[in-house]
Amino acid sequence: MVDQLELQSGFARRWLLDAPLLTCGEDIMASYSVLQRFAEFVNRVEPLFINTLNHKLCDLKDIRTTIKNLHNGAVLDDIELFEVKHLAILASDVAHLLAQHGMDGVVEIPSLDEVINILDPDGMRIATFYIYDSYCAPLKELRNQMRQHPEQQDDLLLQASELEEGVRQDLSRRLHPFATAIEQAQEALARIDVNTAKAQQMKHMGLCFPTLSSDGTTRYQAMFHPQVKEALAARGREFQPVDIAIGEHPTLITGANMGGKTVVLKTLTLCQLLFQFGFGIPAAAAQIAVKDEIHFCIGDEQSVEKGLSSFAAEMKNIDAVIKASRENKKLLALIDEPARTTNPTEGAALVTALLQVLAGKDMSLVMTTHYDIEPGDTRCLRVKGFENGTMDYQLVEVQDGEVPHEALNIAQSLGIDSEWIDTARNLLETCP
Amino acid sequence: MEMRPTARLQGTDLFLDVLPFIDDILRYDSLSIVGLEKNTGKTECLKYVLDRLPVERKRIAVTSIGIDGETVDQVTRTQKPEIVLREGMYFGTSEAHYRQRRLVSELIDVSDESTSLGHVVSARALTTGKILLSGPSSSTSLRRWMDEMQQRFGIDLVIIDGALSRMSSASPAVSQSLILATGAAYSASMSTLVSKTAHVVDLVNLELTSDDNLQRLTPLDKGLWFIDKDGELHSLDALTSLSRDIHFQGMDGCQTLYVAGALVDGFLEKVRKNKDLKQVELVVRDFTKVFVTPQQLRLFLKAGGRMRVLQRSKLIAVTVNPTSPSGYVLDSDTLCGKLSEAIGLPVYDLIKNQQ
């Protein structure tokens, strides 16, 4: 999702990637209220205006090193002074653009007018820089001499460089008090870039604003996976959205192969992350509970380098979930077919035990399985499944965890070798 | 007061005589100066051009591809003249070299691209003075820098100091025109020097293919393609002309063969020896993609083949430096005369002309 954001500047991308996962509901809702203003703004104004804004934001550079130097009281060189002036003018231009559409103050940009005044002694208001003649009368005199007596240039340049250094020292001293404001302005511009891009993404992908769940239950209406939806659309097919609610107790999803169980888990993970990074949510409506940690165990993380088989890697991941569940944190754990790579007897026991161990914990757990297990108090959802030759991906609540036996039908519909499938069918019939 | 036409005419004649090829340069928006070898006088040529361009009425920007402009040649340790910019000229160089500038200049841009010498910075000279030139590190980033200069700062002409024996900056995809600098450093034998230079000139001067071919082939940026006798476009089952197993099957009457990437000797020989391809027109993207020896090219053309390009840059001039870094000196007038005869273009010894 981050890759598909149309960010204008590399700095905004850096800023976004460095941003922490928000774990406080108020922070998340505050970031959505800013995004809400940007979403209205993007829908309201001419696309041409957004282009103008984006074009400006393209100019945002990462000048953190320069700002750090300024903080530390170093004397900035011409390139660094140029960078500061460039940012100050950019911040002022962007503030003006946003103010034209009542967007001033949505993201606070500190005024850097005084910085511009210091670096623009002639009041040109263009983002270019050198040690201007007007900073220092003797410097102006030396430069005039240079033009008249090119043969003395080297000597005159040497004299001028001393005067220039004096000007740089003076400018750096005068700019020093603004270091924090400059840093804030740079971050504000990144925030504007990110919010504009998020707002545009919401519009293009049909994402929704979530609300904060107060009862610990997360609910999605018509949830979809953006990439899968796009891939299907490219082949002229439609993604079937799913409604789902997850409370603070284990939920078991069963269903036929190719029933979209893994996609549901992936989408739940994606949505939770998008929520806690303040992005639009791929659903018609969403009410989401904040979590401290999100665990996603897909079970195919075997690592030859680390010498872990797929079973060992999976066990370790789930082990981390159990350990975290004892730490009084709000967890969301999504586990795809645990213990699928071992024998069904032990596998089913592991899954049943896992449900029992995690049942009492203050966590949201969603797990998929193909094993026939005794669900106990676990809430069970089942993919509607294969009907009349098509797959219905909707989830329905069922009383038991009985798994559908559709693997052979599905394999047949895939055109898998009939000798193999028929032999399997015979085996099932002869030894039930 | 009305100017007398005769005086103006005389003035113009004088101007042309003193400043050969400067007016030609102004017809294009970009010029690349390429040396066929180190010490063939590329930097002198750049200096010559910069000294004479009408900076008062044209916005001119100068940059280099890769690290260049060092005071002492890194390869042969010979002295290189520094580049003198005139007041009002724009330039692009690295941060490190900008800090060492010996002129007063106004910064106009700091690019996101970072080279081993820091970001590429763009500035305008406010006094005449010396600068070490470096610049964007690839032809793609160079092209981006040029677009930026042209669009944002209204630059009329970008001059590129090309890198050592790297033709990429002279590709028509980057610059519209070029000047070739050659000399004794390229070969100490006059006849070899003339024939090797003439070969490069022949490649630069390859003619454009037909409009129809241009339209059909330009979008194809990789692979080998041919147009059969019925005008149908087909892909050959090979990625590059370097592939060992290229089979020319069903190509009887083939009109056009297109190599999107590099064209090499082996492939050209194979084409020449195939009886179905006697009259073929071999199309390449531009001259910088041709890596064939003069012998192979001559044999191919002699057998009836033709070679054409999709993009062409204008060769403005050829300059010579008759002195090699090892001290060997060829006779300037004889060299200019022989080379000029071989390529059908005027050839200049700029160092001699300055003395």
The per-residue pLDDT for range A198-227, each reduced to its tens digit, is 999 999 999 999 999 988 899 999 999 999
DSSP state of B322: -
Q: How far apart are CA B349 and CA B48, in angstroms?
A: 11
Co-location of A193 and A252 in the same domain = no
Question: Is residue A78 domain-shared with residue A97, that is, in the same domain?
Answer: yes
Q: Which of A205-219, A302-316, B202-216 has the lowest mean pLDDT?
A: A302-316
DSSP A347: H
pLDDT at residue B300, as a whole number:
92
Domain identity same for A64 and A177:
yes
The CATH number of whichever domain residue A232 belongs to comes to 3.40.50.300
Rounded-to-integer distance, Cα B304 and Cα B272, Å: 9
Contact B110 A83 (CB under 8 A): yes
Confidence of residue A376 (pLDDT cuts 50, 70, 90): confident
Question: B16-205+313-354 in CATH: which number?
Answer: 3.40.50
The residue-averaged pLDDT of B206-230 equals 91
Partner-chain contact B126 A77, CB within 8 Å: no
Which of chain B's residues have a Cβ under 8 Å away from the Cβ of A143? Answer: 104, 126-127
Residue A410 counted as domain residue: no
- Pair B159, B31: CB distance under 8 Å: yes
Has residue A257 been placed in a domain? yes
The domain spans of chain B are 16-205+313-354, 208-309
Grade residue B71 by pLDDT with cuts at 50, 70 and 90: very low
Whether residue A211 is found in the same domain as residue A93? no
Could you report how far apart the first and last alpha carbons of chain B are, in Å?
A: 38
Higher pLDDT, A155 or A4: A155
* Closest approach of A204 to chain B, Cα-based (Å): 29
Residue B316 dihedral angles phi and psi, to the nearest 5°: -80, -45
Q: Tell me how close the Cα of A11 comes to any Cα of chain B, in angstroms.
A: 10
How many folded domains does chain A comprise?
2
**A161 domain-assigned:** yes
Instruction: Out of A197, A227, A261, pick the residue that ends a domain.
Output: A197
Distance CA(A14)–CA(B174), nearest Å, equals: 31
pLDDT band at B87 (very low <50, low <70, confident <90, very high): very high
Question: Nearest Cβ partner of A79 from B95, B106, B126?
Answer: B95
Rounded to whole angstroms, how far apart are CA atoms A1 and A276?
A: 13
What was the pLDDT predicted at A428? 85
Gap between the Cα atoms of A295 and A410, Å rounded? 31
Query: Which DSSP category does A123 fall into?
Result: -
Q: Are residues A275 and A367 in the same domain?
A: yes
Both tokens assigned to B293: 């020896």
Domain that residue A73 falls in: 10-197
| A407 is a domain residue | no
Shared domain check, A114 and A21: yes
Q: What is the pLDDT of residue A338?
A: 85
**Do A158 and A254 share a structural domain?**
no
Q: How far is CA A205 from CA A37, A271, B66, in A?
A: 18, 14, 42
Residue A259 resides in a domain: yes
Do the Cβ atoms of A78 and B127 come within 8 Å? no
- When mean pLDDT is compared over A152-156, A172-176, A308-312, B246-250, the highest value belongs to A172-176
In a domain, A112, yes or no: yes
Give the range among A268-272, B247-251, B288-292 with minimum mean pLDDT: B247-251
Global confidence as pTM: 0.81
- pLDDT > 50? residue B8: no
Please list, in sequence order, all residues whose beta carbon lies within 8 angstroms of the beta carbon of residue A200, skipping any fewer than 6 positions away. A6, A42, A50
Q: Is residue A136 assigned to a domain?
A: yes
Residue A184's CATH number: 1.10.1420
d(CA A342, CA A348): 10
Residues A143, B105: C-beta atoms closer than 8 Å: no
Residues with Cβ within 8 Å of B275's Cβ and at least 6 positions away in sequence, in order, are: none
Q: Which of A126, A143, A157, A158 to mutate to probe the B interface, most B CBs <10 Å?
A: A157
Distances from the Cα of B161 to the Cαs of A164, A298, A386, in angstroms? 30, 55, 68
ipTM above 0.95, yes or no: no
- pLDDT-wise least confident of A100-104, B162-166, B192-196: B162-166
Q: How far is CA B205 from CA A152, A353, B165, B272, B312, in A?
A: 46, 79, 18, 21, 8
Let me know whether A211 and A168 are in one domain.
no
Quick one: A71 and A39 in the same domain?
yes
Q: What is the pLDDT of residue B12?
A: 35
* Residue in B90, B93, B107 to test binding to A, most A beta-carbons within 10 Å: B107
Q: A361 and A391, same structural domain? A: yes
Question: Do A173 and A223 sit in the same domain of this protein?
Answer: no
Flag if B99 and A77 touch (Cβ within 8 Å).
yes
pLDDT at residue A361 is higher than 70: yes
Q: Is residue A2 part of a domain?
A: no
Same domain, A129 and A169: yes
For the segment B63-88, the average pLDDT, to the nearest whole number, is 65
User: Which of B95, B99, B129 has the CB atom closest to A153's CB atom?
Assistant: B129
Helical (H) or strand (E) element with A287:
strand A285-288
* Average pLDDT of chain A to the nearest whole number: 89
Mean pLDDT in residue range B53-80: 69
For residue A140, give the chain B residue with the closest CA. Answer: B104
For chain B, the residues whose C-beta falls within 8 A of a C-beta of chain A are 87, 95, 98-99, 102-108, 110, 112, 119, 121, 123-124, 126-129
pLDDT for res A302: 57
Nearest to A143 among B104, B110, B123 (CB): B104
Please report, for residues A210, A227, A288, B229, B252, the alpha-carbon distance to residue B257 in angstroms, rounded to integers and kept in the order given: 59, 41, 61, 12, 12
Residue B189 has pLDDT above 60, yes or no: yes
Confidence band, pLDDT 50/70/90 cuts, at residue A432: low
SS3 A422: helix
